[in-house]
């Protein structure tokens, strides 16, 4: 099993474009394993925060450490699933082999197992980009899990998928979490957040506004912003 | 009309002169293409996926070089290879090698610029995913080349089409010497000016068919790729 990247500490993370503070001093400590769901209005900075954690972008200021490691040193233990799956112009199986070349050589059955887990085993030789969006995202998840990440990031990964794919992806993510992978998931979908979250981090206007166990967040949100968001008053 | 019939006869009887010229054309252009591809594909890819000051300028130069007049390229290669030129000691002027050099110079910017655009688009799409999967350096370059294989095939065919139809540079550095450096285009130019339309028309027809074939190939490659979402 992968080594842990906990605790994850983000200190005073700032990112400015022009005179707009996109991230306005994010402070967040995630200590517990399980699934952390990041919620918040559109444009709050959830994606930017996740991309900073993954090392895809550099903030202007602030520190991030994961299990005592800098982002760069933790990257090989992280995996990310994006909102729009990007697959190579190759077959389904070749896409997995590309992500895990050692497994492809040494233990190819692992690739088949991974395909079976996402119900794509019978599609192994199909060009990956001819799959439906839901199937593509399942393949992207299989690809991410194949690297046995200590930290799995999902950025609205089920936002535009068919219900069956959503259910399958949720159950796989939960199973992976039960096996010790820390999961951080951005979601707009309240019911999904209720189904998945052990902990909720509520982000608004480039700041972490609230961080609470999921059960408490949904029944008694602390801040006015979170209350309004849950009541569906903040759409933007 | 007589000339046309005679030209057709040359082709279907596999006329030795005609096919010697055809074969030399294809050989010279294929060798030029192979050399050019080895230079231009990695160059185009590298310019697409690295970031350094002056990169944009390099791409600009590449695009400008695409439009280089062939006679100017011919002239430059001529000056380099002529007996008093810096490379004159190699004795390459008026040889097929000289024609290959000229064609390489002509089509390398074309293939590099076209492939650069192709890889640039792919890079935009793949960048985050490759970064996330920890794919960098040589592995990334190879993956881009592999994944752009169909589009790059079209770039390469465009280069070949340009090379085989080229006349200005090749006539200057090759000299259009019978049995040695006479290729389709230079032969057509010469035979036409001599009033020998038969061979000129025969060669012209072959050249036309060749160019049609290349275009047909480009289209079928494109369709094959599109069907698999590999385009
Ligand atoms: N490269 C960029 N340049 C300028 N603004 C950006 C850039 N990326 C994101 N933003 C802005 O930053 C804000 C936060 O973006 P994001 O993190 O994607 O929001 P979300 O919480 O919906 O995921 C948005 O207002 C977005 O328009
Ligand atoms: Mg987002």
Residue B1 pLDDT level (bands cut at 50, 70, 90): low
Cα(B204)–Cα(B198) distance, rounded to whole angstroms? 10
Average pLDDT (A29-56) is: 97
For B40-54, letters b (16+ CB in 10 Å) and e give bbebbbbbbbeeeee
Q: Is the CB of A48 under 6 A from ligand 1?
A: yes
What are the chain A neighbours of B126 within 8 Å (beta carbons)? 86, 88
pLDDT at A16: 97
In angstroms, what is the span from residue A51 Cα to ligand 2's centroid?
Answer: 10
Q: Are B188 and B203 in contact (CB under 8 A)?
A: yes
Whether the per-residue pLDDT at A102 is higher than 60: the answer is: yes
Residue B207 pLDDT level (bands cut at 50, 70, 90): very high
What are the chain A neighbours of B224 within 8 Å (beta carbons)? none
Average pLDDT (A14-40) is: 96
Query: Any CB–CB contact under 8 A between A83 and chain B?
Result: no
Count how many Cα atoms sit within 13 Å of the Cα of residue A197 in the half-sphere of its side chain.
26
Q: Which residues contact B125 (CB under 8 A, 6 or more apart)?
A: A86
Nearest in space to B141 (alpha carbons), one of B17, B212, B45, B68 = B45
Tokens matching residue A7: 């605790």
User: What's the pLDDT tens digit per position in B176-203?
Assistant: 999 999 999 999 999 999 998 888 999 9
Q: Is the CB of A204 under 6 A from ligand 1?
A: no
Query: Any CB–CB contact under 8 A between B52 and chain A?
Result: no
Taking the domains of chain A in order of start, what are their residue ranges?
8-86+150-230
What average pLDDT is seen over chain A?
95
pLDDT at B199: 87
User: What's the pLDDT tens digit per position in B9-49?
Assistant: 888 888 888 899 999 999 999 999 999 999 999 999 999 99
pLDDT at A1: 42
- Domains in chain B and their CATH numbers? 2-227 (1.10.3720.10)
For A44-55, letters b (16+ CB in 10 Å) and e give bbbbbbbbbbbb
pLDDT at A234: 59
Q: How many CB atoms lie within 10 A of CB A211?
A: 18
**Which of A58, A77, A89 has the highest number of chain B CBs within 10 A, making it the mutation to test binding with B?**
A89
**Which of B122, B133, B222 has the highest number of chain A CBs within 10 A, making it the mutation to test binding with A?**
B133
CB contact under 8 A, B129 and A82: yes
pLDDT at B127: 96
Whether the per-residue pLDDT at A213 is higher than 90: the answer is: yes
CATH number of this structure's domain A8-86+150-230? 3.40.50.300
What average pLDDT is seen over chain B?
94
CB contact under 8 A, A127 and B134: no
pLDDT at A235: 53
Average pLDDT (A77-95) is: 97
User: What's the pLDDT tens digit per position in B139-176?
Assistant: 999 999 999 999 999 999 999 999 999 999 999 999 99
pLDDT at B42: 92
Tokens matching residue A81: 């699933």
Cα(B117)–Cα(B127) distance, rounded to whole angstroms? 15
A–B interface: beta-carbon pairs under 8 A: 44
What is the DSSP secondary-structure string of A81-139? E-SS----SSBHHHHHHHH-HHHHHH-THHHHHHHHHTT-GGGTTSBGGGS-HHHHHHH
Residue A233 pLDDT level (bands cut at 50, 70, 90): low
pLDDT at A160: 86
Average pLDDT (B120-128) is: 97
Tokens matching residue A61: 């200021």
Q: Are A81 and A140 in contact (CB under 8 A)?
A: yes
Here the ipTM equals: 0.93
Strand A78-81 versus strand A8-17 pairing type? unpaired
Whether the per-residue pLDDT at B83 is higher than 50: the answer is: yes
Mutate which of A13, A43, A187, A188 for ligand 1? The one with the most ligand atoms within 8 Å of its CB, which is: A43
Nearest in space to B163 (alpha carbons), one of B208, B219, B104, B93 = B104
pLDDT at B7: 82
Whether the per-residue pLDDT at A236 is higher than 60: the answer is: no
Query: Crossing angle of helices B184-194/B149-165, nearest 10°?
Result: 30
Whether the per-residue pLDDT at A174 is higher than 50: the answer is: yes
Average pLDDT (B1-10) is: 81
């Amino acid at each position: 099993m992968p080594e842990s990247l906990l605790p994850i500490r983000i200190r005073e993370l700032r990112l400015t474009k022009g005179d707009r503070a996109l991230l306005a001093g994010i402070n967040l400590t995630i200590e517990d394993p399980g699934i952390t769901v990041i919620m918040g209005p559109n444009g709050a900075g959830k994606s930017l925060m996740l991309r900073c954690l993954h090392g895809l972008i550099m903030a202007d200021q602030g520190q991030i450490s994961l299990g005592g490691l800098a982002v760069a040193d933790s990257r090989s233990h992280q995996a990310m699933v994006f909102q729009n799956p990007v697959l190579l112009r190759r077959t389904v199986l070749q896409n997995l082999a590309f992500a895990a070349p050692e497994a492809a050589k040494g233990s190819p059955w692992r690739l088949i197992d991974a395909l079976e887990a996402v119900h794509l085993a019978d599609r192994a030789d199909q060009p990956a980009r001819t799959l439906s969006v839901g199937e593509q995202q399942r393949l992207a998840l299989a690809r991410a899990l194949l690297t046995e990440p200590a930290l799995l990031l999902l950025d609205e990964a089920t936002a535009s998928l068919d219900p069956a794919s959503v259910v399958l992806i949720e159950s796989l993510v939960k199973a992976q979490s039960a096996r010790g992978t820390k999961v951080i998931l951005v979601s707009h979908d309240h019911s999904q957040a209720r189904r998945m979250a052990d902990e909720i981090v509520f982000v608004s206007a480039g700041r972490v506004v609230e961080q609470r166990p999921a059960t408490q967040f949904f029944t008694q949100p602390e801040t006015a912003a979170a209350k309004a968001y849950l009541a569906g008053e903040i759409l933007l | 009309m007589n000339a046309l019939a005679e030209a057709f006869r040359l082709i279907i009887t596999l006329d030795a002169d005609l096919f010697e010229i055809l074969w030399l054309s294809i050989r010279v252009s294929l060798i030029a293409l192979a050399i050019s591809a080895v230079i231009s594909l990695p160059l185009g890819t590298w310019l697409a996926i690295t970031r350094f000051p002056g990169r944009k300028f390099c791409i600009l130069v590449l695009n400008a070089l695409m439009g280089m007049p062939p006679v100017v390229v011919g002239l430059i290669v001529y000056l380099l290879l002529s007996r008093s030129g810096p490379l004159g000691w190699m004795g390459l002027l008026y040889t097929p090698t000289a024609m290959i050099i000229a064609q390489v110079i002509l089509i390398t910017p074309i293939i590099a610029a076209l492939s650069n655009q192709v890889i640039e688009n792919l890079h935009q799409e793949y960048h985050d995913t490759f970064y996330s999967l920890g794919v960098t350096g040589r592995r990334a370059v190879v993956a881009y080349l592999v994944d752009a294989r169909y589009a790059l095939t079209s770039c390469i065919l465009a280069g070949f089409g340009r090379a085989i139809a080229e006349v200005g540079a090749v006539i200057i550095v090759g000299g259009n010497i019978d049995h040695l450096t006479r290729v389709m285009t230079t032969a057509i130019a010469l035979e036409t000016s001599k009033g020998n339309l038969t061979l000129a028309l025969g060669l012209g027809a072959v050249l036309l068919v060749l160019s049609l074939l290349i275009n047909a190939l480009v289209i079928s490659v494109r369709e094959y790729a599109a069907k698999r979402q590999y385009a």
